[in-house]
Amino acid sequence: MRLNERDDVPEEMDKRDYGSLVHAILARFHVAHPRLSAYPPQDLIASLRQLSQEGFATAAAEAYLAGIWQQRWQQHIESYVAWALQREALGFQFESAETPFKRDIEWAPGQSTRLEGRADRVDRNGEAVSLLDYKTQSRQTLKKKLDPNAEDVQLTAYAWLADATAAGFVMLDADKVDNLDWQDDLPAAAAKEGERLRAVLADMAQGLPLPAQGAPQVCKWCEMRGLCRREHLDEVSA
């Protein structure tokens, strides 16, 4: 609905900035070491520390709390390298980072809308494409996102864009870095996601009202709660 208050000018680094910075550092790290097993683990750890130092130094020039976030990330570097080596040993080869995808959704004959996205990381295991999304959220939050009956559509939408057969979150901020994968039939869930998008776009073209987005976690903080249809939806379903 394009409704929101003006954003404050950010003066400090927050968790989202931290996540973005670590994403960029990991992209540089994997592009520089596409086959991790070609290097001794200690060299990989040293390289990731160096790249992290450089990345956070740039952030520190604008946000003095960047050093605290850097300390937090430094604690996870060894665990991250151990996890990445283990994943490669299981057959998942790094292919690309920050990978753009796009796909046209034809919602009526001759009418289409382009969906674009950028995957944090793409691996290949033989012919199979596996997507990874780096996250700094808790295991509990991420597990909820993986519930096929929940409203989070990130992995299924990306899987549809990329024709991926596997996808998961990497818990960067956990004591032990690990991935949490989509457990059900991902291609089937992705196809369903593509069909849902097509149907929503077709409905929009006809001027049909959209259901309120309604993810409770988002609505809880939304500045427009009370103005939008969400409250009405709650009353109807109560």
Kindly state whether residue 232 participates in binding ligand SF4, applying the rule CB under 6 A: no
Closest CA to 154 of 215, 238, 223, 89: 215
Q: Which of 10, 213, 217, 232 binds ligand SF4 (CB under 6 A)?
A: 213
Stretch that binds ligand SF4, among 48-56, 131-139, 200-208, 211-219 (CB under 6 A): 211-219
Kindly state whether residue 202 participates in binding ligand SF4, applying the rule CB under 6 A: no
Residue closer to ligand SF4 by CB (options 67, 214) is: 214
State both tokens at 199.
């149907």
Residues paired with 216 in a beta bridge: none
| Least distance CB 216 / ligand SF4 (angstroms) | 8
Kindly state whether residue 153 participates in binding ligand SF4, applying the rule CB under 6 A: no
Stretch that binds ligand SF4, among 53-61, 100-108, 152-160, 222-230 (CB under 6 A): 222-230
State both tokens at 53.
């130092």
Kindly state whether residue 222 participates in binding ligand SF4, applying the rule CB under 6 A: yes
The secondary element (H helix, E strand) that includes residue 44 is helix 41-60
Neighbours of 69 (CB within 10 A): 23
Rounded CA-CA distance 222/197 in Å is 24
Q: Which of 68, 199, 208, 218 binds ligand SF4 (CB under 6 A)?
A: 218
Count of residues binding ligand SF4 (CB under 6 A)? 11
Q: Which of 225, 232, 234, 236 binds ligand SF4 (CB under 6 A)?
A: 225
Stretch that binds ligand SF4, among 116-124, 155-163, 167-175, 218-226 (CB under 6 A): 218-226
Q: What are phi and psi of 128, to 5 degrees?
A: -80, 135
Q: What are phi and psi of 102, to 5 degrees?
A: -150, 150
Which string of DSSP letters, residue by residue, matches 173-202?
TSSS-EEEE--S-HHHHHHHHHHHHHHHHH
Stretch that binds ligand SF4, among 10-18, 50-58, 68-76, 210-218 (CB under 6 A): 210-218
